[in-house]
Chain A
Amino acid sequence: MTRTPSSLPAGDINPAPLPEPPLTKEDAARSRDRARVHRARGGSRHWQLLWLLAGPGILAMLGENDGPSMIAYASDGAQYGLGFFVPLILVLFAMAFVCQEMCMRVGAVTHRGYGGLVLQRYGRIWGWFGAGDLIVTNLVTLIAEFVSIRVGLAYFGLGSGAAVALGLTLVVFTLSGKRYWRWERVVLGLALFNGLFLVAAILVKPHPGAVAASLDFVPFPGGSFNTLLLLLASTVGATVTPWMIFFQMSASADKGMTARDLRHGRYDTAAGAVLAAIFGIGALIAGAALLTHGGSGIQGFAGAGFPEALKHVAGGAAGTVFALGLIEAGAVAILTICASTAYAAGECAGVSHSFNNSPRSAAVFYAANLGVALLAAVVILIPGAPLLSIVLNANVLATVLLPVTLVFMVMLANDAGLMGQWANKPATNAVGITVIVFVGLCGAAYGIDSFLQVIHLVGP
């Protein structure tokens, strides 16, 4: 293999040749992926280019359409109907697109992940704080994902052991390829089954007029102030979370994306946001079928309540599809969340962190990927563990911890020293700061109000 001098210092018209960096197995694997991108771009094969560069954006968005999120959407539909939530979900995914586009851009331009960049650019303490936030929220969320698989499998008469076996088998299988490309394509294939929630929505036969009318924004349909805050916090937490930030930035770098791929990276992120919004609204519509039945199923959630309740209201097919959807949502989220944990661990420890490396060369990366899944699996096997409470609070905790992650992400995207001409424009900053303020207010308002109620300083 020969090499080309691949980049020039800015403004240098006739530079001296740069010394060639040593080529590792990781470089060689990434180079093979990039060669296909170059061929597609050189041959103006636009669809092939789109296919080759798709991945991190769709995975981040559909990964976040996870078990707790789909349960949250279905609960919203079952308790309040469509009116308030369809526009809210659309707005939240537009918000998610802005955040994730920044992640993709920083990852593609710097070729580095979030954890490593924060740690090196702003200091170890901020890097480790960020990694700590990620590990806490990821562990709680992973427990919720295993619960989601368990709930789906319970519909088919299977228990916690089967859920743990399925989740861990998928993690080991996807890690066995030692290539980013293979990992990404396997998880993308699984993620497309998130569309089962759209199928479930069709199977409950919603009134088309009611769905269309739900696009008109209506006020929150009722309930206490705290209920509204909980719904807002958990719905925001169902749309943007710390692991998505870590994941998309690191995956974009691991995939080998560069500044020339930014347009396709935006297509990928936008496609993910649109698909996730459609499938999320699918879960909302499916849940809304329970509205006339007093929101039945929510209380029975821990015992596979939603699929069973749907079966009674809309038929066995709807229940089965919803249960399969929960299994898929949990499984894909386990894979992407474990990957984000592994990237963060490798970056913060300053060791190899790529799917393109072997377990021997990237021991910390592979150990963190599998280890966090094992830890979550152990928790759901503990008899009497408060799984339902964990599921309901997973998104809220993610929302509360998100503002710090978002602030550093906006700082990185504005860092002209890192980003050069691809740094944020003022309009992107305005939207980004609005998102941070909104997320911060939602999480803080719920956290403070709930706490004051618990210590009886305010009434329910």
Chain B
Amino acid sequence: MNDAHQDPGIGERNPQPPERGEDGPLVHLARGQFVAETSRPVARAALSARAVAGLWALRVFVVVVSLMVIYTFIDQLR
């Protein structure tokens, strides 16, 4: 449903963060944890047309039900 179509994802780029001992004043961060890395956007996933249609259907349904709840809430105030 959500295949990456650009560069490899985060999971592949950073398979295992290192756990270095106290052998010096180190930066104890995996590469993917640096702000410089997390500021880079991840590749856009390619969603199938069916997945997009399903997401839109769910979104419309949720908005409609939310409006019903809000209408009921306002009616209860009267």
Contacts and interface: CB of A to CB of B under 8 A. Distances in A.
A30 B2 contact: no
A421 B26 contact: no
A1 interface: yes
Q: How large is the interface on B (under 10, 10 to 19, 20 to 34, 35 or more residues)?
A: 35 or more
Contacts of A184: none
Given A126-B55, A386-B77, A415 B8 contact: no
A112 B25 CA distance: 26
Contacts of B37: 21, 111
Contacts of B58: 403-404, 407
Contacts of A110: 10-11, 32, 42
A87 interface: no
B42 A22 contact: no
A157 interface: no
A111 B58 CA distance: 28
A112 B22 CA distance: 27
Nearest to B13: A9
A35 interface: yes
Given A109-B11, A386-B77, A260 B26 contact: no
B49 interface: no
Contacts of B41: 120
A1 B25 contact: yes
Contact of A417 (B39, B45, B69, B73): B45
- Interface SS of chain A: helix
A111 B33 contact: yes
Interface stretch (A63-71, A271-279, A372-380, A393-401): A393-401
Given A418-B9, A450-B72, A5 B55 contact: no
A123 interface: yes
A419 B44 contact: no
A397 B66 contact: yes
A382 interface: no
Given A400-B66, A419-B9, A7 B22 contact: no
Given A7-B30, A420-B9, A451 B36 contact: no
B53 interface: no
A185 interface: no
B12 to A, nearest CB: 5
B78 to A, nearest CB: 10
A444 B16 contact: no
B29 A122 contact: no
Contacts of A258: 17, 30, 33
B63 to A, nearest CB: 9
Interface string A365-389: 0000000000000000000001001
A348 to B, nearest CB: 12
Interface of A: 1-10, 18, 21-24, 26-28, 30-31, 34-35, 37-39, 41-42, 109-112, 117, 120-123, 126, 129, 253, 256, 258-260, 350, 352, 386, 389, 393, 396-397, 400-401, 403-404, 407, 411, 414-423, 443-444, 446-448, 450-451, 453-454
Q: Which 8 A-B pairs have the closest CB atoms?
A: A420-B11, A417-B9, A417-B4, A21-B36, A451-B68, A34-B28, A447-B65, A21-B34
18 contacts: A1-B25, A7-B13, A21-B34, A22-B34, A27-B35, A110-B32, A111-B30, A120-B41, A120-B42, A389-B73, A404-B62, A416-B9, A423-B11, A443-B65, A447-B69, A451-B68, A453-B72, A454-B71
